[in-house]
Amino acid sequence: MHLHNSARHLGIAIGALALVGASWEATAQAYFAGKTMELAVSRGSGGSQDRICRFMASHLERMLAGGPRIVVKNRKGGTGVVATNWLYSQAPKDGTALGCFLPVRNYQAFFSGTAKKRGLVADMTKLVPVAGTPVVAVSYVRADIGSGIKGPKDLKGAPAFKTGGQSITNTKDITFRAVFDLAGIAYDYKTGYQDSSDAWAAVLRGEVHHHSSGLPHFMKVVLPTGVKTGKVTPIYYDSGIVVPGLEPAVPTAEFIRMHGGKPEGPLWSLYQTSRAWRVIYLPPGVPETVVAEIEAAFAAMLGDKAFIDAHRKSYTVFPAWVAGRKALDRQLVSAYRALGPSLVKFRKDYIDKARR
Amino acid sequence: MPVLDAALAGIGALFLWPAIGYLLLGISIGIVVGILPGLGGLSAVAMLLPFSFLLDAYSAMAFLMGVYAVTTTADTIASVLLGVPGTSGSQATILDGYPMARKGEAGRAFGAAYTVSMAGGVAGGVLVVASLPLVRELVLSVGSPEFFMLGVFGLLLVGALSGGSPLRGIVVVLFALALAMVGTSPQEGLPRYTFGEAYLLDGIKIVPVVLGLFALPELLDLFVHRTSISRAALESARDMKEGVLDALRHWWLALRSICIGVYVGMIPGLGATIVDWMAYGHAVQSEKNPERFGSGDVRGVIAPEAANNALKGGALVPTLAIGVPGNAPMALFLVALTTHGISPGPDIMGNRLDVLFALVGALVIANVVAAGLLLVATPYLARIAQIRGTIIVAVVVVAALMGAWMSTHSMGDWIVLMVFGVVGYAMKRWGWPRAPIALGLVLGPLLERYLHLSINVYGFEWLMRPVVLVIFALAVWALYAQFRRDYRRGRR
């Protein structure tokens, strides 16, 4: 009888635990079930930023338990300020609003004390980064400079060539100027092209000789129509690691060393704090369990075969995304914290030098 | 692959299942997108692009081209009936399209617009194929100095868009050029005249401005007079045939406008926002009785509608030939192509000519099908012009607010809409031309960017470049012709 009762109690206890477990799981699953989430994109529709954010949204929908619907909204304006301000101060704090930004200029403004001038109200350290990827840009030059450029080493001793940029304060302009200056390569800086397509056309018609394109533009346009036809040669790319398929281009630090320079000092710090990232954020104040669930969904996505295959198909490379606050804080936010007063002044002087 | 075989393979594939189904689905979506003000081909293609990755190459191209090709055919409905541009490519259509609707000639405007839209789309497709061997040299002959001079040439259209008051037109366009300076400077990347407002960092958006200038004053008019849009009796079916005949009668204007559309499309960076104004300005400059424009002249519908559809064929050319997108939606087509393993340049021009012909075929078929469907629907659509004004006002308010909101999804869009609504009402009331504001806002950034680049890259040698000199000579000649005509008209 006693045993029978004990068994009955044990059964009830197991049943209760199972019920609690089931309801706990159901609650966790149910959090996003039937919910409509918004992913705010900081640029207009159709651009590379818009495309990759939509791509990530479609896979996040699949990975989040409960299968929520994610609506992508283009909140463009002020090169990301409008969307960032919205996420920080107006977006719901329940995990249903995310932002997909290129935040480098906002970090620079925030850590260099020029946020107000830029109209930025967001505290960039309070936004919660849940996933991010470094933006890899590939530098290429016309192959007909001097006696011909077949690889990055051939730039040594080549006559000064015209670089084509987008604006004096553009992060891509600052990074390629810094790389050439660190490597001691002579160049004639021209800027003002609307985007990489505009600059690519200028390279093709010989108006300028160099440009630095984002990886998707390089792989899908420059590689087939420029590199394979012998019109341009890739020379280096912004990455700390070797990216297969970009040969003869080499990673930045190697390129600098190849030409007798050293990747160190304030100019190297400026280069590193000017490199762009794409980051997906949650606003401050989202419950910890919800943040953790979204982080877990991104972490699972990075190992998901369907995501990896789709990424390779769309962007021709293996996804280099990083998931989780800790990793992103280490790689991203802490790097921008280096923008102390002396580096801010160095940056300003470096930009002014180009203006002169 | 021989050219004829490739053409047969590419176009033939469009008629096989499921490609034909996706083409028709794309056309249907494109018509809906074109009708809704504010949404355009770019937004639609951007939203549907990920879906196209799941399809085979032919189906994907048919689907996306179906959507993109017909938005500038269907956008005429809002432009003519509501005075609200359906897309950024039909802003100039409202100048004569809406007055035609008010005269009870909406059916005629539709008949003419759909006929030339179809012709523009088909001719654009044919010209793509014809110009491919020359395209590389043609596109690459236009550098920053030539872009700047084309902008100057476009600016001279101000006389044509000033409705007989060139001096007022010049004042207005200068005001608009000053407005175009608001935002982030293209070379420095620094804020300019933004007063700390993040909304203004990207400059003043053209769509809320045009909606405010043109749609809101008409709305007030409808509300105050409590009439229908059309103050004349409905004869839409007969009017539609008249419109088709108008298009045939003015074939020479349509052809010139198609050429403008194709060439502007081929030059990366100019795009849809400017092509309708260029074609409209050209029509006013070159046609007899220019004083009739702006008061419901069918030629004012024919020119922009022929050009904005022809532009799409033109924009395909640099996209496919050298990987430089002719406009923003073409950048998305490039993504779709490369995702399906087809690269621009030698790959598509040599190995995958079948895909090139599939794209051109889809463009042509979409234009013909959409124009046919919309012509059939015209008698019913034209009835909207007879609906009581108080009902239409509500629709136009929603359309204008929605159209403006689509620019950046922020309150700033509505503030700009309202401010320019007041400005537009005042300008209409006191007889100041409104179209030069749009011209100045479109051309201002282009002029600034390319003047800076011309001087920066070439010094003052850019002034001696042959193509620059030719465009300059054409501009001087156009200015002289305008003055001579105004002088003669004044004497008469």
B143 in contact with A at a CB cutoff of 8 Å?
Answer: yes
List all residues of chain B from 330 to 349 with a beta carbon under 8 Å from chain A: 331-332, 334-335, 338-339, 343-347
Residues of chain B found within 8 Å of residue A220, distances taken between Cβ atoms: 323, 334-335, 338, 343
Q: Which of A10-19, A289-298, B233-242, B324-333 has the lowest mean pLDDT?
A: A10-19
Q: How far is CA B368 from the centre of its chain?
A: 18
B369–chain A nearest CA distance, Å? 26
B174 in contact with A at a CB cutoff of 8 Å?
Answer: no
Mean pLDDT value of segment B156-167 = 73
Interface contact A77-B139, CB threshold 8 A: no
pLDDT tens for each residue of A313-342:
777 677 788 898 888 887 777 777 777 778
In this model, does residue A23 exceed pLDDT 60? Answer: no
Residues of chain A found within 8 Å of residue B323, distances taken between Cβ atoms: 200, 220-222, 224-226
B440 in contact with A at a CB cutoff of 8 Å?
Answer: no
Q: CB of B246 within 8 A of CB of B111?
A: yes
Mean pLDDT value of segment A1-22 = 49
Q: Which residue of B has its CA nearest to A229?
A: B346
B328–chain A nearest CA distance, Å? 7
Residues of chain A found within 8 Å of residue B335, distances taken between Cβ atoms: 51, 216, 220, 314
Q: Which residue of A has its CA nearest to B346?
A: A225
Instruction: Report which DSSP code applies to B430.
Output: T
In this model, does residue A24 exceed pLDDT 50? Answer: no
B201 in contact with A at a CB cutoff of 8 Å?
Answer: yes
Of B254, B265, B251, which is closest to residue B317 (Cα–Cα)?
Answer: B265
In this model, does residue B155 exceed pLDDT 90? Answer: no
- Chosen for mutation from B64, B457, B465, B467 (greatest number of chain A CBs closer than 10 Å) is B457
**What is the phi/psi pair of residue A37, to 5°?**
-105, 160
A113–chain B nearest CA distance, Å? 15
Q: Which of A5-14, A78-87, B177-186, B437-446 has the lowest mean pLDDT?
A: A5-14
In this model, does residue B67 exceed pLDDT 80? Answer: yes
* pLDDT of A1: 40
In this model, does residue B386 exceed pLDDT 80? Answer: no
Better pLDDT: A69 or B228: A69
A212–chain B nearest CA distance, Å? 15
Instruction: Report which DSSP code applies to A230.
Output: T
Better pLDDT: B230 or B135: B135
Quote the CA–CA distance of B70 and B58 in Å, as a whole number.
Answer: 18
Quote the CA–CA distance of B143 and A96 in Å, as a whole number.
Answer: 47
DSSP alpha helix (H) spans, chain A: 2-30, 48-63, 81-89, 104-111, 115-118, 171-183, 196-204, 215-217, 252-258, 265-274, 288-302, 305-315, 325-328, 334-337, 341-355
Q: CB of B57 within 8 A of CB of B30?
A: no
Of B99, B380, B94, B90, which is closest to residue B237 (Cα–Cα)?
Answer: B380
Interface contact A51-B46, CB threshold 8 A: yes
Q: Which residue of A has its CA nearest to B39?
A: A45
Inter-chain CB pairs, A–B, below 8 Å: 164
Q: What sign does the dihedral B232-B234-B235-B237 (CA atoms) show?
A: positive
Interface contact B188-A51, CB threshold 8 A: no
Q: CB of A184 within 8 A of CB of A257?
A: no
Quote the CA–CA distance of A122 and A86 in Å, as a whole number.
Answer: 9
Instruction: Please state the three-class secondary structure of A140-179 as a single string.
Output: EEECCCCCCCCCHHHHCCCCCEEEEECCCCCHHHHHHHHH
Query: Hey, what domains does chain A have and what are their CATH numbers?
Result: 35-134+276-349 (3.40.190.150), 137-273 (3.40.190.10)
- Chosen for mutation from A194, A231, A348 (greatest number of chain B CBs closer than 10 Å) is A194
pLDDT tens for each residue of B33-56:
888 776 677 778 877 887 888 888
Interface contact B323-A225, CB threshold 8 A: yes
Q: CB of B326 within 8 A of CB of B363?
A: no
B187 in contact with A at a CB cutoff of 8 Å?
Answer: yes
In this model, does residue B176 exceed pLDDT 80? Answer: yes
Arithmetic mean of pLDDT over chain A = 86
- What CA–CA distances, in Å, run from A2 to A5, A7, A11, A341, B206? 5, 8, 14, 76, 84
Q: pLDDT-derived band of residue A212, with 50, 70 and 90 as boundaries?
A: very high
Mean pLDDT value of segment A300-309 = 91
ipTM: 0.74
The side-by-side arrangement of strands in the sheet containing A128-134 is A69-74, A36-41, A97-101, A277-282, A128-134, A322-323
Q: pLDDT-derived band of residue B331, with 50, 70 and 90 as boundaries?
A: confident
The 10 Å Cβ neighbour count of residue A199 is: 26
Interface contact A76-B202, CB threshold 8 A: yes
Q: Which residue of B has its CA nearest to A217?
A: B335
Question: Domain count of chain B?
Answer: 1
In this model, does residue B182 exceed pLDDT 50? Answer: yes
Residues of chain B found within 8 Å of residue A73, distances taken between Cβ atoms: 409
**What is the phi/psi pair of residue A212, to 5°?**
-120, 115
Q: Which of A148-152, B179-183, B329-333 has the lowest mean pLDDT?
A: B329-333
Structure tokens at A154: 């051939």
Q: Which residue of A has its CA nearest to B457?
A: A190
Q: Report the residue from A192, A204, A216 with minimal CB separation from B449.
A: A192
Quote the CA–CA distance of B169 and A46 in Å, as a whole number.
Answer: 35
Q: Report the residue from A73, A82, A120 with minimal CB separation from B199.
A: A82
Q: Could you list the residue range(s) of the whole structural domain that residue B439 is in? A: 3-491
Mean pLDDT value of segment B162-175 = 82
Instruction: Round the CA-based radius of gyration of chain A to a whole number and report it.
Output: 24
Q: Residue B63: which residues within 8 A CB-CB, separation 6 or more?
A: B22, B23, B25, B26, B48, B51, B52, B55
* pLDDT of A350: 94
Q: Report the residue from A75, A78, A192 with minimal CB separation from B187.
A: A192
* pLDDT of B230: 61
B454 in contact with A at a CB cutoff of 8 Å?
Answer: no
pLDDT tens for each residue of A227-241:
998 999 999 998 777
**What is the phi/psi pair of residue A245, to 5°?**
95, -5
* pLDDT of B270: 67
B15–chain A nearest CA distance, Å? 27
Residues of chain A found within 8 Å of residue B344, distances taken between Cβ atoms: 221, 224-225
B52 in contact with A at a CB cutoff of 8 Å?
Answer: no
Structure tokens at A278: 């794409």
